[in-house]
Structure 1
Amino acid sequence: MEQLESTYLLHILSDRVEKIVTVAASFDWTWTDNDLPSLCEAQGWEVVRRTSDTALLRTDHMADRPEAYWSEWDLGGVRDVIMVVTDKVDTSDAQAAQELLGEFDRLVNRFTAVLGSPRSAQWGPEPKVLWDRTNVVVRLFLLDGYINLYLVNPAYQEWLDTPEVFRTYD
C-alpha cells in the first residue's frame, strides 16, 4: 500500500510539473524583472521574498521544497528559475532509486510531448536532459535524490555553451 501512495503522489507531481513546463513554453519571456509578476500569475505562484537579484517563489507543487528561485544574471537580465519537483528520495534504497528514475523517465516523455525532442540527454544514475526552445531552455536532471527543473534564459544557456566566452568571465 505504501508503494501505491508514493507512486500516486509522484503522478500528481508529474501533472503539475508538466503544467509548469507547458506554461513556460508558451510564456512571452523577455527575461527581465517585468516577467516576474506575469509568470507568477500564469503559474499560480506568489513572491515570498525579493532581493535585488533573486526572488523566492511559493509554488503549488507538493514536493519537500515547494518553492522556486528566480535569479538575476550579473551580465544583465534574468538567468533562470530553478526548483526541485520531487520529494527527496534515499537513493541508497534500490527500490526508491528505481522509482525516482522511473518518474524522471515519465517526465522526459511528458516534456518531449510539449517541447519536442531534447537537444541533449545523458542517462545513468544521475540523468540530465536539455530542451532548447527559442524562448526558454528547459533542463531536467536528477541530483542528490531530487529531480530538479531549471527554466533557463536562452542567452544565458548560449553563454554557458560557449567555452571561450565562459572562460574569460571573471
Structure 2
Amino acid sequence: MHADIEGAVRIARLAADFEWTWTVENIERFCRIAGWQQPVSDEFGFGAEILTDLRVSRPAAYAAYDSDFYQLTGLPEGEVPYIVVALSDAIPGDSPEIYEPLVDSFSEITDRLVPAFGQPFRLHGDRPRIVWDLPGLVTLVLELAFDRQKIGLKIANTWYHNDALRSEGAKDDYDYDYDDEDDDDEPELFPMADTWPSSMEPSECSAELAFGLARLPRDGVIQLSVDGEFVGLFAMGLFEVWCVISAGGGQRQGAQSPEELRLGLIDRGWSVPNPEAMSLWQRTIRWPAAYAEFRAFAEDFLSELVTLHPTAHPSDVGWYASIDPGTVGSVAWGTLRHSTGI
C-alpha cells in the first residue's frame, strides 16, 4: 500500500489558498491549477470524475453536484458540495499487518497538516475522520476508510458541510467510491470475537488489539473482563485513547505488596489514581498514532493485565465494545469519568 504524503499536503495547501465560489467553473479552474485533467461528467449526472496527478494506483477524484444535494442543502443550482480525492492505494485483505501502512500514512498526513492548519476537530462517526474549518468557505476532511481500505481527502463547501452536520442523522451517503470495485459492508466496531481463541499467541492478540484501537470511533468504548470481573477499559476521547486498568482483586496481585504494586505501576507510566477510585490506574496514547505506537500500547496493557490479573492465556479476557459509554456493564461510566478524568 502506498499513500502520496507529499501530494496530499500539496493539495490540502492548494485547497486552503484557493478562492472558492463552489461553482462548476470554479472546480475546473482548481483542476488547472492543481495540474489535474478537467472534470468529466459521469453518466448519471451526479457529478464529475477527475484524473489527478497523485502517485497512487488509481489517481482519481470526484466532484459532486447532483440535484439531490441542492434539494437537501438549499444550495443554488450549479454549486458543488465537495470534491473527494484518493490519497492512497486501495489494499486487499483484512488483517492488522495489511492495515499497518494505512494507519501510519493517516497519522503522518495528519502530523504534516497540523502545523499548516492548526489543531483540527474530530468528527463523530464510525470512521476515523479529522476536520479543519478554514477561511474562504472551505473545509478539509481527512478520512481513513477501513471499509474501503484507503485514505481520502474531502475538500468541502463549508456551508454544505456545516449544514450536513446540523442535519439529524446526517451521513455521507453520497461519498464517492473512487475505485470501481464493490465495497464490502461496514466492518464491525471492534473486529474481533468476544474472546481470543486459545490458539492465538500473545503477540497476535496485541496486534489485533492495536488494530482495534486504531479504528475505534469517537465515543467508542471497549470494556474487558476476566471471569466476569472488570479488569480494564479503553475509551476514545477527542484526540487520545484512554486506557484504564483495575489493580484490584486482592489475591490476584500475587506476592506484591500494595506499595510495591503502586510504585511499579508509576514506574511503568501509569498515573496515580484518584483517591476515590484507588484501584483504577490510567494511561493515554495520542490519536491518530502510528501503528507501532498502538502496538506498543497494546503490548504494555496485556503485560500489565497478566501481572495484575494472572490468567492462563489472553483468551480468558472477555470483550465488550460499544459507541455508547452508558452501556458499559460492570463499572459505572459516570464513576469512571469522575475518577479518572476521561
What residue is the counterpart of 2:52 in the other structure?
59
Rounded Cα–Cα distance in structure 2 between residues aligned with 1:42 and 1:66: 16
The 5-angstrom pairing of residues 2-151 of structure 1 reads 9-10=2-3, 13-50=4-41, 53-72=46-65, 73-74=69-70, 75-76=75-76, 77-90=79-92, 92-120=94-122, 126-135=127-136, 136-143=138-145, 144-151=148-155
Q: Is the 8 A contact 1:134 1:154 kept in 2?
A: no
Q: Is the 8 A contact 1:90 1:97 kept in 2?
A: no
Q: Is the 8 A contact 2:140 2:156 kept in 1?
A: yes
Name segments (4+ residues, structure 1) moved above 3 Å: 121-124
In the alignment of these two chains, the number of paired residues is: 156
1:134-168 Cα offsets, whole Å, 9 max, x none, are 2211111111210111000001011112136x7xx
Q: Which runs of 5+ in 1 are unaligned?
A: 1-5
1:43-100 Cα offsets, whole Å, 9 max, x none, are 1011251265522111001223211111114232110001221111246232221221
Q: Is the 8 A contact 1:122 1:129 kept in 2?
A: no
Code of the residue aligned with 2:21 in structure 1: it is T
Q: Is the 8 A contact 2:32 2:38 kept in 1?
A: no
Rounded Cα–Cα distance in structure 1 between residues aligned with 2:18 and 2:12: 10
Q: Is the 8 A contact 1:82 1:149 kept in 2?
A: yes
Structure with more contact order per residue of length (Cα contacts < 8 Å, sep ≥ 6): 1
Q: Given the superposition, is the C-alpha separation of residues 33 and 26 from structure 1 closer, same or farther in structure 2, using an over 3 Å criterion? A: same
For the aligned residue pairs, the C-alpha RMSD in angstroms reads: 2.4
The TM-score, its normalising length taken from structure 1, stands at: 0.81
- SS of the equivalent of 2:84 reads strand
Rounded Cα–Cα distance in structure 1 between residues aligned with 2:18 and 2:89: 27
Q: Is the 8 A contact 1:54 1:71 kept in 2?
A: yes
Cα deviation, residue 123, structure 1: 10
Q: Is the 8 A contact 1:55 1:70 kept in 2?
A: yes
Percent identity reads 24
| Higher-strand-fraction structure | 1
